[in-house]
Amino acid sequence: MSQAVAGDRLSGDRTVLRVLAGEAQSRPPAWMMRQAGRYLPEYREVRARAGSFLDLCYNPDFATEVTLQPIRRFGFEASILFSDILVIPDALGQNVRFVEGEGPRLDAMAGRAEFERLREAGDPAIFTHLEPVFETVRRLRAQLPHETTLLGFCGAPWTVASYMIGGRGTPDLAPARALARHDTALVEALIDRLVTVQTEYLVRQLEAGADAVQIFESHAGALPDARGAGENPGETVGEETVNEVAESALPESASAGSNDRDALTRWSLQPIARMIAGVRARVPGAKIIVFARGSGLDGHARVMPETAADAVGVDWSVDLKALRDRVPATTVTQGNIHPETLIEGGTALDAAVDGVLAATEGLPHIFNLGHGITPQTPIAHVERMLARLRG
């Protein structure tokens, strides 16, 4: 893709792209993580017809429909591809399934034997397997309103690796952290493969029509030096929300890898930086958001300088005003409304919206939650939130 094509994405009336280019808006554009989901009755109807959750992800008819539903209903300024971070291990040949009421289950990668059974990074079968995702992106760009920014996404290498090693979300990601201590070279090889494959995955999403992409580092908070003073929010993968990461800071003795000076940099931010550099080598000017959930005030402040991302997604545990005071005024932020505040609604929700607007006044910001919307969220509360935002 040429520099000209990438640059063209920044012109016109896609306000999310204008913010990603550093342009503050009088009212920030909005979208929600997991905005296509079970809180919507129209989603539940399609989900029932689709079969399994992965069937929904891999069927362009169904995936396009559920991606468009929240745009039709709420008029968000951005639409995010409906898929899941675990399509990557699935494409690599690991057995992935979603258990109703429990979430994702994978055949755990306990050691080298399981790693050797994965597809090599250059295996064309990986992207043949993922072709339905790219077809969904093409259909979405053709059907979305011109002014709506289309976002692609993937998981960060550490987050995806932790699922591949543990076979599920586990307390403190103990299997991944233990394997990183006992066979560091193996985990590094897995991270390297994920960097290569997911760089190509994002490039192909951009080539198919995505305007920008987001990298979800959902498990940053499990790394020992990632925590700030805030709590670590629960994890959302597939359709399930599970609170499985401990809330207290991990001791340095629990560090992933025996000689880490900085586990957040080594296992999270450096691999993400390699992905971003790889994407931009192929798609100059590509706009990329990084959401390092649970990394605390310090971790959030480090995302853009250490990865060269265009924006940092802010989880609900971070004081948004404190972050904005700490980082340069040119920093692009996104998110921070607590999903539970959205469930509560009323004056608490109004105050939260006002707080975000006050903390980001005159600064480049994309309005979002600080984590994915949950199934029990009343639709009327989303409507109230957007009415407050839009004045």
Question: Which tokens sit at 93?
Answer: 């040949």
Catalytic position from the list 9, 47, 193, 266: 47
Which amino acid makes up residue 84?
Answer: D
What secondary structure letter does DSSP report for 337? B
Note whether 360 and 25 are within 8 A (CB).
no
Q: How many residues does the chain have?
A: 391
- Asked about 34 being catalytic, the answer comes back as yes
Catalytic position from the list 38, 138, 168, 388: 38
- Asked about 107 being catalytic, the answer comes back as no
- Asked about 193 being catalytic, the answer comes back as no
- Asked about 138 being catalytic, the answer comes back as no
Please name which of 76, 53, 73, 71 lies closest in space to residue 63, comparing C-alpha atoms. 53
Q: How far apart are alpha carbons 74 and 141 in whole angstroms?
A: 18
Catalytic position from the list 84, 90, 172, 260: 84
Q: Burial-class residue 4 by CB neighbours within 10 Å (0-12, 13-18, 19+).
A: exposed
Instruction: Give the Å distances, CA to CA, from 187 to 181, 269, 358.
Output: 9, 15, 43
Residue 132 Cα to chain centre, angstroms: 20
- Asked about 39 being catalytic, the answer comes back as no
Q: How far apart are alpha carbons 72 and 91 in whole angstroms?
A: 31
Catalytic position from the list 14, 18, 34, 293: 34
The residues annotated with a catalytic role in the active site are: 34, 38, 47, 84, 163
